[in-house]
Amino acid sequence: MISLPSFTKATIPDAPRAIAKGSSLADLLNDNAIYYLARNIEIVHSDFDSEAFVKECLNAPEGLALMAKGQFIAKVLHQFLPPNYQAAINILTQTLINADESSEEFGLAGFFYLPHSFYIAQYGLDAKYNDGIDPFDISMKAQYELTQRFSAEFCIRPFLIEQQARTLETLKDWQFDRNRHIRRLVSEGTRPKLPWGKRLPDIIKDPMPILPLLTHLKDDSSLYVRRSVANSLGDIAKDHPSLVFDLLERWLEGANAELKWLIRHAVRYYAKKNVERALAIRIAAK
């Protein structure tokens, strides 16, 4: 018999501020995290077979890295949650802790929700998992909620790959959201070469569809968002340096201190390589 934690409302386990030497990021989804996940679900879904779920999760292959472990747990969730995607995602959404708008960035504790992210990515695009009904809007709503607790930058990428125009229409609305985490998803989720995330081949080839979003968010009130914009531009510059240099040179005119920081940050890759134009932009942005 497995003994689960006894809390009565959505709770996530504590996590270290940084991974200790000799430890792995995959340890963030350790046995204790599985117990917490099972307890969170059974609080809102009494039919959930917590014991069988935990046993299946603990049978994960040895040595899985963090992302692979998150994917594995998502597949196990699919076995034990209702087969209808909307019903399952409603349960998972109810297990989220209260959103903390005051948090600028997500600490390692947020990786507890990595399986939720992969659940949306794996089962939230195909109508066959939702009794033939298009799940797109359900998935967008779920990502809107998830990104306020962890980040939806990983799970939104399959939507950008398979339904780019439709997803960008949603992001066009989200760029104006009052919540900084939602606005950051607009820039971070569309990063062409997001670390750990799927690459976005169409946007790598032609980044023009996301430039209006980045242009709007360059003046965001949150450094958390502006840093994401700079990182996205840095990704784009690796394939289209002249495009980004042209854009940043236009932004320099009348730029305030915050925008100048963003501009310097965006060209750091080429500045380190002593590319003359990048160095000139950094000097002009001081």
Q: How high is the pLDDT of residue 1?
A: 74
Q: How confident is the model at residue 105 (pLDDT cuts 50, 70, 90)?
A: low
> Considering the entire predicted model, what is its pTM?
0.94
Q: Letter for the amino acid at 257?
A: A
Q: How high is the pLDDT of residue 136?
A: 98
Q: How confident is the model at residue 24 (pLDDT cuts 50, 70, 90)?
A: confident
Count CB-CB contacts under 10 A for residue 263: 23
Q: What is the pLDDT of residues 39-55, one digit of tens each?
A: 999 999 999 999 999 99
- Contact status, residue 102 vs residue 20, Cβ threshold 8 Å: no
Count CB-CB contacts under 10 A for residue 82: 15
Q: In sequence order, what DSSP letters do the residues of 16-32 get, joined into one string? A: -SSPPTT--GGGGGSHH
Lowest model confidence (mean pLDDT) among 39-53, 94-108, 158-172: 94-108
Quickly tell me which residue has 């360059």 as its tokens: 218
Q: Check pLDDT > 90 for residue 274.
A: yes
- Contact status, residue 262 vs residue 226, Cβ threshold 8 Å: yes
Query: Of the candidates 100, 119, 121, 118, which has an alpha carbon nearest to the alpha carbon of residue 109?
Result: 100
Q: Check pLDDT > 70 for residue 101.
A: no
229 token code pair: 């914009």
Q: What is the pLDDT of residues 217-266, one digit of tens each?
A: 999 999 999 999 999 999 999 999 999 999 999 999 999 999 999 999 99
Q: In sequence order, what DSSP letters do the residues of 232-247 get, joined into one string? A: HHHHHHTT-HHHHHHH
Q: How high is the pLDDT of residue 221?
A: 96
